Amino acid sequence: MKKKDLNKKIVLGILFIFPLLVYLFFASGKNNFAKLPVLTENISEIKPLDTLITFKDKITILGYWGGSLEEKQAEALNLNEKIYKRFYEFEDFQFVFMVNEAFEDEVESLKKSLKEGVGTDLSKWNFVSVTKESMQAHFQSLKTPFTLDQSGSTPYVFIIDKDGNLRGRNDDEKEGTLYGFDARSVAQINKKMIDDVKVILAEYRLALKIYNASREK
């Protein structure tokens, strides 16, 4: 075998194996998942709510903020600092928050507070204005043990995969099944949510690498 051909095979081997090692590294955290489990399949799409925003082919952090957004600033800042800034450069990553149409005028004020200081690119922060009834109906499609409060809001946010499925943990050491993450808790975001977002991103990156490698053969 020629040295040039051998070197080429070594390089191709590294390019194929390295993403797998990265994925295994992410998946070897406390959650110990080869893949982040699907907890609820085929949650309701957003399109029926008259918007161009979709879950299809996107990894989505989904939230429901039914009341005044002024009361959600602490949660928004936690998610922006710990999750959004870390992952927003991934092309297929997005934030989607359903907001009560009665508080739609507060969206720009919230965005302004998120931009202050570092001027964060908020192009992947999406706000969908809906009625309280529509928000409740969509939330129920997640089939979680959580409930929305009287204003149609919850502090919990959820990971939705590219097929519109709810992802989470089914053997969390404290909660058993972990459907969502409390955005008020920096500790939970740091210890669990960051890890789980890494796992699902690595899962899709690995699938893409394997697909591309199979086409090159």
Structural domains of the chain, ranges and CATH numbers in brackets:
33-196 (3.40.30.10)
Rounded to the nearest 10°, the torsion over CA 124, 127, 128, 131 is 160
Q: Which residue has the higher pLDDT, 79 or 214?
A: 79
Q: How confident is the model at residue 1 (pLDDT cuts 50, 70, 90)?
A: low
Instruction: Give the integer Cα–Cα distance in Å for 46 and 52.
Output: 8
Q: What percent of the chain has pLDDT over 70?
A: 76
Q: Which ranges in the chain belong to alpha helices (H)? A: 3-27, 73-79, 85-87, 107-115, 132-140, 186-188, 194-216
pLDDT in tens, 147-166: 999 999 999 999 999 999 99
Angle between helices 194-216 and 3-27 (to 10 degrees): 150
Q: What is the DSSP letter of 67?
A: S
pLDDT in tens, 161-207: 999 999 999 988 888 899 999 999 999 999 999 999 999 999 988 76
CB 87 within 8 A of CB 197: yes
Q: Which residue has the higher pLDDT, 152 or 19?
A: 152
List the one residue out of 93, 124, 102, 98 whose CA is nearest residue 111. 124
Q: What's the predicted TM-score (pTM) here? A: 0.81
